[in-house]
Amino acid sequence: MASRLCTPIRLGGAMGLSGKVARPMHLQPSLALYQCIWQQVRSSSNSPMAQGPGNTRKKVTIKSLENLYRKGEPITMMTAHDFPSGYVSEAAGMEMILIGDSLAMTSMGMADTSEITLDEMIMHCRSVSRAASTAFVVGDMPMGSYEVSEEQAVQTAIRLVKEGRVHAVKIEGGQEFAPTIKRIVQAGIPVVAHIGLTPQRQNALGGFRVQGKSTAAAIKVYQDALAIQEAGAFMVVVEAVPAEIAAIITKKLRIATLGIGAGNGCSGQVLVQADMVGNYPPGRFLPKFVKKYGDVWSETLKAIEQYKTEVKSREYPSPEYTYPTTKEVVEEFEKVVSRKD
Ligand code: KIV
Q: Give 79 Cα–ligand 1 centroid separation in angstroms.
A: 7
Averaged pLDDT of the chain: 89
Question: What is the reported pTM?
Answer: 0.86
Query: pLDDT for 285-320, tens place per residue?
Result: 999 999 999 999 999 999 999 999 999 999 999 999
Give 75's Cβ-side CA count (13 Å radius). Answer: 32
**Which residue, by CA, sits nearest to atom 3 of ligand 1?**
100
Lowest mean pLDDT among 42-51, 145-154, 205-214, 266-275: 42-51
Residues 17, 163: Cα–Cα separation, whole Å: 36
How does DSSP classify residue 29? Answer: P
pLDDT above 90: percentage of residues in the chain: 80
List the catalytic residues: 239
Query: pLDDT for 237-280, tens place per residue?
Result: 999 999 999 999 999 999 999 999 999 999 999 999 999 999 99
**Residue 292 pLDDT:** 97
Q: What is the mean pLDDT of residues 199-214?
A: 91
Q: What is the mean pLDDT of residues 20-38?
A: 46
**Which residue, by CA, sits nearest to atom 2 of ligand 1?**
100
Residue 116 CB less than 6 A away from ligand 1 = no
- Do residues 288 and 261 make contact, with C-beta atoms less than 8 angstroms apart? yes
- Do residues 118 and 161 make contact, with C-beta atoms less than 8 angstroms apart? no
- Do residues 139 and 170 make contact, with C-beta atoms less than 8 angstroms apart? yes
**Which residue, by CA, sits nearest to atom 5 of ligand 1?**
100
**Residue 319 pLDDT:** 96
Amino acid at 124: H
Residue 106 CB less than 6 A away from ligand 1 = no
Q: Give 102 Cα–ligand 1 centroid separation in angstroms.
A: 6
CATH number for the region 62-291 comes to 3.20.20.60
**Residue 231 pLDDT:** 98
Using pLDDT thresholds of 50, 70 and 90, give the confidence band for residue 48: confident
**Residue 251 pLDDT:** 98
Q: Give 271 Cα–ligand 1 centroid separation in angstroms.
A: 7
**Residue 338 pLDDT:** 95
